[in-house]
Amino acid sequence: LFDALKQQPADALLSLIGLYRDDPRPQKLDLGVGVYRDETGATPVLRAVKAAEARLLETQDSKSYLGPEGDIRYTELLQPIVFGKAVPADRLAGVQTPGGTGALRLAAELIAAAQANGKGAGVKVWLGTPTWPNHAPIMAAAGLAVATYRYYDQASQTVLFDEMVEALKGAAAGDIVLLHGCCHNPAGADLDLDQWRAVARLVAERGLIPLIDLAYQGLGDGLEEDATGARLVLDAVPDALLAYSCDKNFGVYRDRVGALYVKAATPARTELIRSNILSLARANWSMPPDHGAALVRIILDDAGLTANWRAELDGMRARINQVRQALAAGDPSLAFLGRQRGMFSLLPLSGEQVGILRRDHAVYMAGSGRVNLAGLTLATVPQLIQSLKAVR
Ligand code: PLP
Ligand code: TYF
């Protein structure tokens, strides 16, 4: 049986971790996989998370099963941060998921299940290009058809908004449109508020269903600011999906902390969706892992810990934006980095130039030219600028 399998490529981004580790050059720069790094290059456990872990260790009196919805209080406490308000429980189904990836997969399975029941035969999921490389495989794994709209031009560093709108005018009612809530991965370029408003109108008028991927809230301009566009879209439509990740903004990557929220037009539809996402979760992972979500719950349930977490998040965001401003100030051709947000941006480099940067300059980035700016410090910004000049 298994000989029929085809060899699969390794995840290109995750493979960089090993290549970088094995490089003996002391000046090497890791701008690869998307994790936050502090000015010493470390990805530390946040102090608020450590405090929550100490509390959990002391107070947890059982590890018995929770259920497919995971930690209900966690999904409730996260809700005002994401939506900016309390959404009535009979209009919003929320479940804890294994990371943002689990939320995306569950969203895809829900769409596929509805489609299989004949409600949306031929539904397409519209992905911008470029996008996070896992988006298309997740949709395909659930059996969904993917269509694309051009989103960003790497050479001119511009969001192709008119092209995006034109493409989405070709989408059929009931089609799904995946939108990055903030800190676009890999482009670093988000819609401005007027563009978000236009997208909100477009999806509402054409009966499209937004699927918002919000994996970096708080790492762009602030917790509120980073959710503004998503909220505009959510408020404009009767039905919408939102895949959330706490893995970056709480720094709990390996603990796999996410949530799927589905907004529905009526209480009956909300209940229908809730029962289906719980049944799909059971068939996939039964129940999500508890630890990370319990930490987020403990933090958000405590005003002091919440304030500490927000301050640490503010610090991470400030450092990323400081690196962005330093690059922009250090080289006019990098001015666009100062206008973009989040950990990632796409440098206008060929695959060959990316290879030379790795081989001759020990600068590690994704083959696409995507850089994780959190891999830099004010001290190493000039090194990147010099290395880029050398390959141009
Ligand atoms: N969506 C985007 C755009 C991402 O960059 C990531 C990164 O990992 C995810 C979703 C998935 O997040 P998680 O690690 O929580 O599964
Ligand atoms: O894009 C990134 O670097 C992050 C981390 O298969 C990541 O989203 C990368 C690859 C992957 C899962 C997560």
For position 190, which CATH number holds?
A: 3.40.640.10
Q: Which of 252, 281, 300 is the last residue of a domain?
A: 300
pLDDT for res 369? 97
Domain assignment present for residue 383? The answer is yes
- Do both 358 and 233 map to the same domain? no
Assess if residue 295 is contained within a domain. yes
Q: Which domain holds residue 234?
A: 65-300
Residue 309 DSSP one-character state: H
The stretch 300-310 carries a mean pLDDT of 98
Which of 251, 285, 300 represents a domain boundary (last residue)?
A: 300
Residues 6 or more apart whose CB falls under 8 angstroms from that of 24 comprise none
CA distance 385 to 370: 15
**Quick one: average pLDDT of 354-373?**
97
Q: Which of 71, 190, 213, 290 is catalytic?
A: 213
As a whole number of angstroms, the distance between CA 253 and CA 98 comes to 10
Cβ 34 under 6 angstroms from ligand 2: yes
Q: Is 213 assigned a catalytic role?
A: yes
Q: For position 34, what pLDDT does the model report? A: 95
| 120 in contact with ligand 2, CB cutoff 6 A | no
What is the identity of the amino acid at 391? V
- 309 catalytic residue (yes or no): no
CB 92 within 8 A of CB 115: no
On the question of pLDDT at 118 being above 80, the answer is no
Both 136 and 183 in a single domain? yes
Q: What pLDDT, on the 0 to 100 scale, is given for residue 120?
A: 61
Burial 322-339 (b: 16+ CB within 10 A, else e): bbbebbbeebeebebbee
Q: Do residues 40 and 72 both lie within one domain?
A: no
Tokens at 87, concatenated: 């959404």
Does position 344 have pLDDT exceeding 80, yes or no? Answer: yes
Q: Which atom of ligand 2 is nearest to the CA of 134?
A: 6
Eight-state DSSP code of residue 374: G
In a shared domain, residues 140 and 85: yes
For the record, the structure tokens of 123 come out as 């539904």
**Are the C-beta atoms of residues 267 and 20 closer than 8 Å to each other?**
no
DSSP 8-state code for residue 257: E
pLDDT, tens digit, for every residue of 309-322?
Answer: 999 999 999 999 99
Would you say the CB of residue 186 lies under 6 angstroms from ligand 2? no
SS3 label, residue 136: helix
Q: 294 and 329: one domain?
A: no
Q: Taking Cα atoms as reference points, which of 71, 75, 226, 211 lies closest to residue 138?
A: 211
| Average pLDDT value for residue range 122-133 | 96
CA of 330 to the centre of ligand 1 (A): 30
- Of 300, 332, 359, the residue at which a domain comes to its end is 300
Residue whose Cα lies nearest atom 4 of ligand 2: it is: 34
Computed on alpha carbons and rounded to an integer, the radius of gyration of the chain in Å comes to 21
Residues 190 and 294 grouped into a single domain:
yes
Indicate whether residue 173 lines ligand 2 (CB < 6 A): no
Banded model confidence at residue 12, pLDDT cuts 50, 70, 90: confident
Is there a single domain that holds both residue 155 and residue 23?
no
Same domain flag for 73 and 195: yes
| 220 CA from centroid of ligand 1 (Å) | 15
pLDDT at 174 over 70: yes
Q: Are residues 159 and 237 in the same domain?
A: yes
CB 258 near ligand 2, within 6 Å: no
Q: How many domains are contained in the chain?
A: 2
32 located within any domain: yes
> Average pLDDT of the chain?
97
Checking if the pLDDT of 121 tops 80, the result is: no
CB hemisphere CA count around 323 (13 angstroms) = 29
Q: Which of 51, 93, 124, 132 is catalytic?
A: 132
Does residue 57 lie in a domain region? no
CATH of the domain at 329: 3.90.1150.10
Q: Which amino acid is at 367?
A: G
Structure tokens at 22: 């094995």
Q: Given this model, what pLDDT does residue 390 score? A: 98
Exposure class string for 367-376: b at 16+ Cβ within 10 A, else e: ebbbbbbbbb
Task: Give domain status of residue 230, yes or no.
Answer: yes
* Residue 248 known to be catalytic: yes
What's the pLDDT tens digit per position in 40-74? 999 999 999 999 999 999 999 999 999 999 999 99
| Backbone torsions φ then ψ of 144, nearest 5 degrees | -90, 150
pLDDT of residue 200: 98
- Give percent of the chain with pLDDT exceeding 70: 99
For residue 316, how far is its CA from the centre of ligand 1 (angstroms)?
17
For residue 119, being part of any structural domain is answered with yes
> Does ligand 2 lie within 6 Å of residue 133's CB atom?
no
> End-to-end alpha-carbon separation of the chain, Å?
50
Which stretch of 15-19, 217-221, 285-289 has the lowest confidence by average pLDDT? 15-19
Domain assignment of residue 51, yes or no: no
Name all residues whose Cβ lies below 6 A of ligand 1: 34, 99-101, 132, 180, 185, 213, 215, 245, 247, 258
Name the residue of 11, 16, 17, 33 whose CB sits within 8 Å of the most ligand 2 atoms, as the mutation to test its pocket.
33
In a domain, 113, yes or no: yes
Read off the pLDDT band of 119 (50, 70, 90): low
Mean pLDDT (whole number) for 17-26: 96
| Same domain, residue pair 110 and 149 | yes
Q: Do 149 and 120 lie in a common domain? A: yes
Q: Strands, E, within 45-85: which ranges? A: none
- Look up the ipTM and state it: 0.98
Residue 218 falls in which region: left (phi positive, over 0), alpha (psi -120 to 50) or beta: left
Q: Indicate if 30 and 135 belong to the same structural domain.
A: no
Amino acid present at 180: H
- Which two three-digit tokens encode residue 95? 């479940």
Nearest ligand to the CA of 133 is 2
The per-residue pLDDT for 86 is 86
